[in-house]
């Protein structure tokens, strides 16, 4: 029987010395097969592929319940973990590429109101649910659970709107505009919470000054990255377009992404903040010279890399979900409470839509899915600790994963129903 091991261990049937890359590549092959099969099933069921990848990971990670222990190490292997971490950076880079700084300026007061409420309400509700159901947990745990609920994965909503021919509707413009701001605000809150937790782990007292310093650091980094980075990248890519070597556009873009990710980490922020900012800064006009001479656009160049690395992250997140924790009624209650808070919180954000401007229910439902962004937040929580004690344990992580699955699974049919309902109400007679 073949047992998968970590990359620092040899596996063999004959006891010989093996190249340590062998178990790593075998693990990657298994993860990619699981991701593609899970994504295919989800797509055929009319769901987002990410949901299938996540469920496939959950299935692999819990086969030990049936006596199969072959895949346990995939969720803890250090080499695979590095691939998953780079996949997260590429994913946030892609999310940033879908929007621009100019779009953020044009979204208007309504989208801003929806985004602010869509972050504040879930954060408060998530904190409240955690405080109610986990009374023994620290305020840091409550804060992180609240932060995890602020996330929005608008890609699922955008696909539904497109399929229904509603991508140019007032509701779609508000949702997509608010989602851009929502991503920025969510990352700022994530940076704030993780910064405060890191300070507490070092023995620093929680104070208004510490919170203000972390918040200022996050906002300052984004401001510098977005505005100075935009000015710099335009000139950098213009110069690079004179180079004739193959692959310059992709290489330079990844350098931009990785350097900003490193810079974010260097000042105490999550690397995904830098990756998102890099994608947001890079606009089509910056590399138009490359396209004019026949090269593919940046999004097309990044897609194969994303198709390889990003599914690995989702399957690994699923593998790390221990279904045995749901034998505890408190975990089930927490998962249910987080699902309710997730839906109600995003519905409250629809109050930012002026009456008569758009259908509030549709806007609120469009902001519900947490998808990949919620998983990223939860995964970061697993890495945080204070005095050696994890801020987010496996039980809390599992409850957050259930919330992500439920919001991702229920949003498409709920959104379709809401749009059809709005159409019927708009018809005369």
Which among 120, 14, 35 has a CA at the least distance from the CA of 310? 35
Counting residues of the chain whose pLDDT is more than 70, the rounded percentage is 84
What pLDDT is recorded for position 128?
94
Per-residue pLDDT, averaged over 158-186, amounts to: 71
- In terms of phi and psi (left: phi > 0; alpha: psi -120 to 50; beta: otherwise), the region of 355 is beta
Q: Which helix (H) or strand (E) holds 93?
A: helix 78-97
Helix (H, G, I), strand (E, B) or coil at 386: strand
pLDDT class of 210 with cuts at 50, 70, 90: low
Q: Give yes or no for residue 387 having a pLDDT over 50.
A: yes
Closest CA to 273 of 362, 380, 347: 380
Total-model pTM: 0.70
> What does DSSP assign to residue 14?
S
| Mean pLDDT, the chain, integer | 79
Tell whether the model's pLDDT for residue 398 goes beyond 70: yes
| Domain boundaries along the sequence of the chain | 83-426
Three-class SS of residue 390?
Answer: strand
Q: Between 81 and 405, where is the model more confident?
A: 81
- State residue 30's pLDDT score: 93
Task: Tell me what pLDDT residue 28 has.
Answer: 92
The pLDDT, as a whole number, for residue 9 is 45
Instruction: Look at residue 108 in the predicted model and tell me its pLDDT.
Output: 66
Q: Pick the more confident residue, 95 or 207.
A: 95
Q: How many residues does the chain have?
A: 429
Please report the pLDDT score of residue 243 as a whole number. Answer: 79
- The matching CATH number, chosen from 1.20.1530.20, 1.20.1440.130, 3.40.50.1370, 3.30.43.10, for 83-426 is 1.20.1530.20
Residue 238's pLDDT band (cuts 50, 70, 90):
confident
Q: What is the mean pLDDT of residues 361-378?
A: 80
Tokens of 362: 């549709």
Q: What is the pLDDT of residue 10?
A: 41
Q: What is the mean pLDDT of residues 293-314?
A: 85
Q: Where are the beta strands (DSSP E) in 217-296?
A: none
Band of the pLDDT at 6, cuts 50, 70, 90? very low
SS3 200: helix
User: What number is the average pLDDT over the span 364-386?
Assistant: 79
**Hey, which of 99-113, 138-152, 174-188 has the most confident mean pLDDT?**
138-152
Q: Is the pLDDT of residue 281 over 80?
A: yes
CB 149 within 8 A of CB 338: yes
pLDDT tens column, 97-137: 876 666 656 656 788 888 889 889 999 999 999 999 988 88
DSSP for residue 169: S
pLDDT per residue as tens digits for the range 304-337: 998 899 889 888 878 887 778 777 788 889 999 9
Residue predicted with more confidence, 144 or 20: 144
Read off the pLDDT of each residue in 83-91 and give the average, rounded to a whole number. 87
Band of pLDDT at residue 429, cut at 50, 70 and 90: low
* 18 vs 139: which has the higher pLDDT: 139
CB 88 within 8 A of CB 272: yes
pLDDT at 320: 80
pLDDT at 142 over 70: yes
pLDDT of res. 385: 81
Share of the chain above pLDDT 90, in %: 13
Burial class (CB in 10 A: 0-12, 13-18, 19+), 14: exposed
């Amino acid at each position: 029987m073949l047992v998968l091991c970590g990359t620092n261990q040899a596996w063999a049937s004959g006891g010989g010395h093996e190249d340590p890359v062998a178990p790593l590549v075998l693990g990657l092959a298994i993860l990619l097969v699981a991701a593609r099969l899970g994504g295919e099933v989800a797509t055929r069921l009319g769901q987002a592929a990410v949901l299938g990848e996540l469920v496939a990971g959950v299935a692999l990670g819990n086969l030990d319940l049936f006596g199969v222990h072959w895949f346990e190490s995939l969720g803890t292997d250090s080499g695979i973990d590095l691939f998953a971490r780079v996949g997260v950076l590429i994913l946030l880079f892609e999310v940033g590429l879908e929007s621009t700084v100019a779009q953020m300026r044009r979204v208007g007061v309504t989208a801003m109101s929806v985004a602010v409420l869509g972050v504040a309400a879930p954060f408060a509700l998530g904190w409240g649910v955690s405080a109610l159901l986990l009374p023994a947990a620290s305020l840091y745990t409550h804060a992180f659970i609240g932060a995890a609920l602020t996330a929005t994965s608008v890609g699922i909503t955008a696909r539904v709107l497109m399929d229904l021919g509603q991508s140019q509707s007032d509701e779609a413009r508000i949702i997509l505009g608010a989602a851009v701001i929502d991503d920025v605000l969510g990352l700022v809150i994530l940076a704030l919470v993780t910064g405060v937790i890191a300070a507490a782990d070092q023995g620093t007292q929680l104070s208004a000054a510490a919170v203000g310093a972390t918040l200022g650091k996050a906002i300052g980094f984004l401001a510098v990255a977005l505005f100075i980075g935009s000015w710099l990248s335009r000139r950098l890519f213009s110069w690079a377009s004179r180079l004739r070597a193959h692959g310059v556009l992709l290489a330079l873009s990844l350098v931009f992404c990785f350097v900003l990710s490193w810079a974010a980490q260097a000042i105490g922020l999550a690397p995904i903040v830098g990756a998102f900012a890099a994608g947001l800064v890079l606009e089509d006009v910056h590399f138009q010279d490359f396209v004019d001479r026949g090269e593919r656009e940046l999004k097309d160049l990044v897609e194969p890399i994303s198709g390889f690395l990003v599914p690995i992250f989702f399957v690994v997140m699923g593998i790390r979900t221990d279904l045995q924790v749901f034998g505890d009624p408190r975990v089930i209650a927490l998962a249910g409470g987080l699902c309710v808070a997730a839906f109600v919180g995003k519905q409250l954000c629809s109050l930012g839509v002026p009456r008569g401007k758009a259908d509030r229910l549709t806007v609120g439902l469009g902001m519900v899915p947490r998808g990949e962004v919620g998983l990223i937040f939860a995964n970061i929580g697993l890495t945080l600790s204070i005095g050696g004690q994890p801020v987010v344990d496996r039980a809390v992580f599992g409850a957050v994963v259930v919330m992500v699955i439920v919001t991702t699974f229920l949003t498409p049919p709920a959104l379709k129903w809401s749009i059809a309902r709005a159409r019927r109400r708009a018809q005369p007679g």
